[in-house]
Chain A
Amino acid sequence: MKKFSLLLVLVLVFSVFAMGCGGSSDDAAGDDSAAGDNVIKIGVFEPASGDNGAGGKQETLGIQYANEMCPTVEIDGVEYQVQLEIVDNESSTDKGPTAAQNLVSKGVSIVLGSYGSGVSIAASDIFADAGIPALGVTCTNPQVTEGNDHYFRICFLDPFQGTVLANFAKDNFDAKTAYALAKLGDDYSVGLCNYFKQAFEGLGGTVVYETFPDGNSDFTSYVANAAKANADVFFAPVSTEAAALIIDQASAQNLQMPILAGDTWDSNVITGAAKGKNVDINVTTFYQEGGNAEFDEGIKAWIEADSTNLANNGGNTDLAAVTAMGYDAYFTALEAIKLAGSGDPAAVMAALPNVQYEGVTGMITFNEIGDANRTTAYVKHCNTDEGIWEFVAEQGVE
């Protein structure tokens, strides 16, 4: 009996370890056959689980598709295989650095990611110490690139996005009071709420700002608070997981209030949650489906053809803007490698500021901080009858 119980404990312990590793490493080791001398590794630092798992997977899809389209890069007449090293940072600021370390030890030339600014900031120092450049795909918080030389990004920033949303709330809904909700300790939503608040108060409105703690799934009281505050818009730039719960609760309480959010909400998780419900959702984003027909068609066929990809995209072929951004990020990285003339991280880092690339989401060039020069955001509205996004306007800031 004693032996049996010991065995059982051992089995339990080992199965916990085995499960823990299983989720993250299966994709990364896939393409070892290509390993030879002429290989350049690109690290993909994205969440595949946790709060931002859904978005991270969609962003990774764009990168994988780009890699499939263009799996080699030519430097000085020699053809190099480009190999993706994909790790899961679990959307977590304490697990992210370990995943980043993993990429460093695999010897990648450049890192793409992450979806979610908090994880990017948490892992930034690890890439800096290893001298590896990082290219943010959709992390919009200013702190990601601020005060360092190695982090770049191809998306717009939260001060810009917050201002766009504040203007949109003022112009379209004639809003005087806004209710803003962020997740406690989440750099992205807290940051974006603050920029929204500054801009909206600058326009003469008032903002009621509240936060919810990690692990919370009961949004009843937050929705009731927004109604009690007599707000004209509900601003909730939170993760898609929380968003689905907020949408559900807003519909249950019959909250007759437009809901505004940032780029994270541009996902089929949201349209799925809002389908058939009485909610009015508007988001700002990087790319509008239909912006580049050839790309849309290609990637949809590619996603459709593989059941894993289809599951990673949430079960249908609706394109998220982050997927298009992931696609552009890969080619921007390739441009930088070509310009550097080698896969040496230091050379790639030196080359990045001079990269110019015309992607499906627009022209990508970098300013002196390492941010992309972007001046427009797309506003989309959710059609809740059919569960699809509809294009509303292209909005910039004067």
Chain B
Amino acid sequence: MDFIRDNLPYILAGISVGGQYALIAIGYTMVYGILRLINFAHGDMFMIAGLMGVYAVTWMPLYLAIPFVIIFTVVLGFLIERAAYRPLRNAPRMSVMISAIGVSYLLQNLALYVTGGLTKTYPTIPWISSTITVFGATTKVVTVITPILTIALVVLLMILIHKTKIGMAMRAVSRDFETSRLMGIQIDSVISMTFIIGSFLAAVGSILYFSNYTGVMPTAGAMPGLKAFVAAVFGGIGSIPGAVIGAFIIGICENIIKGMGLTTFSDAFTFAFLIIILIVRPSGLFGEKNIDKV
């Protein structure tokens, strides 16, 4: 019992942060699956969603602010794809990636300009910011609801992908871009849909993440974004269940490492882990094997 009481806070924190990484990681993995593009701006979208949360509550009541943040992020994600990636659809893949890096810096510097470089405190959302006690460990409610909400959203997403027409189109596009275009699938609308879903999940993730860790600064998206990316690669980039499981594993391991007193190495561990996975299983846990098409 003592063992559980001592270690529960770490595991709770790990599951919670893992769920938040998972919501970001899905955005990375879906975009990669369909466009073969690593969307470097995704972590910064997450930060912008957090920042918008800070400003939105000063403009409108909370029950309007949360939907507003989500819609704003979705529109932003859609517009970024439209303005920065779509014109480069037939350009070499490297150009699109550089465009993504450009968007990432644009968002960061925009946030720096708007906030004046100071950290903004995320608003307190009633109920989910209050504290509860779970088996003797005191924590915020958001810690407990994050994994539940994450899994619910992932199940919904899987239904969307496997049972609906747009989902079928997404699967087809991710399998073979050119052929699905020949078969009459509207590639552009499928890609827009992918960005909309990714941004939606990032916005939900940002509400949960910043309710728990309340400082929003222009670089706040960098570290969670990077770790979510590692999670996506770890699970096998392109695979949604892989990204979710990868994110939970990274979140939990990271916190257990900190709990063991090796705090200095917690980030080093995450990235060392990535290297080992890439050496042992280059396609990740659930990744598809690369088939060279001739």
Interface positions of A (Cβ within 8 A of B)? 1, 4-5, 8-9, 12-13, 15-16, 19-20, 22-23, 48-50, 53-54, 57, 88, 90, 184, 210-213, 215-222, 224-225, 227-228, 240-241, 244-245, 248-249, 251-254, 269, 272-273, 311-312, 314
SS class, residues of chain B in contact with chain A: helix
Known A-B contacts A9-B102, A216-B267; the reply to A222 vs B258 at CB < 8 A is yes
**Interface flag for B207 (CB, 8 Å):** no
The interface residues of chain A lying within 8 Å CB-to-CB of B218 are 49
Interchain CA distance A54-B116 in the complex, whole Å: 10
In the complex, which of the residues A19, A90, A314 has the most CB atoms of chain B within 10 Å of its own CB atom? A19
Nearest-CB residue, chain B, relative to A219: B213
The interface residues of chain B lying within 8 Å CB-to-CB of A219 are 213
Interface positions of B (Cβ within 8 A of A)? 6, 9-10, 12-13, 17, 83-84, 87-88, 91, 99, 102-103, 105-106, 109-110, 112-113, 116-119, 121, 131, 137-140, 143, 212-215, 217-220, 222-223, 255, 258-259, 261, 263-264, 266-268
SS class, residues of chain A in contact with chain B: helix
Interchain CA distance A219-B10 in the complex, whole Å: 11
Whether B215 contacts A217 by the Cβ 8 Å rule is yes
The interface residues of chain B lying within 8 Å CB-to-CB of A221 are 9-10, 13, 255, 258-259, 263
The interface residues of chain B lying within 8 Å CB-to-CB of A8 are 83-84, 87
Known A-B contacts A1-B87, A54-B119, A224-B9; the reply to A244 vs B214 at CB < 8 A is yes
Whether A217 contacts B213 by the Cβ 8 Å rule is yes
Since A228-B6, A253-B131 are in contact, a sample of 5 more A-B pairs with Cβ atoms closer than 8 Å, ordered by chain A residue number, is A19-B109, A23-B117, A225-B259, A225-B263, A244-B119
A-B contact count (CB 8 A): 139
Nearest-CB residue, chain B, relative to A5: B87
Interchain CA distance A314-B119 in the complex, whole Å: 10
Known A-B contacts A13-B102, A210-B261, A244-B121; the reply to A253 vs B9 at CB < 8 A is yes
Whether B261 contacts A225 by the Cβ 8 Å rule is yes
Nearest-CB residue, chain B, relative to A211: B264
Whether B266 contacts A53 by the Cβ 8 Å rule is no
Known A-B contacts A22-B113, A54-B119, A241-B217; the reply to A218 vs B17 at CB < 8 A is yes
Q: Give the Cβ gap from A247 to chain B, nearest Cβ, in Å.
A: 9
Nearest-CB residue, chain A, relative to B224: A217
Interchain CA distance A221-B265 in the complex, whole Å: 13
Whether B88 contacts A5 by the Cβ 8 Å rule is yes
Nearest-CB residue, chain B, relative to A248: B214
Nearest-CB residue, chain B, relative to A213: B267
The interface residues of chain A lying within 8 Å CB-to-CB of B121 are 244, 272-273
Whether B214 contacts A245 by the Cβ 8 Å rule is yes
Whether B213 contacts A245 by the Cβ 8 Å rule is yes
Question: Which of A19, A57, A215 contacts B118 (CB under 8 A)?
Answer: A57
The interface residues of chain B lying within 8 Å CB-to-CB of A245 are 213-215
Whether A224 contacts B259 by the Cβ 8 Å rule is yes
Interchain CA distance A77-B161 in the complex, whole Å: 82
Pairs across A and B, CB under 8 Å, 6 listed: A12-B103, A218-B213, A222-B263, A249-B213, A253-B138, A314-B118
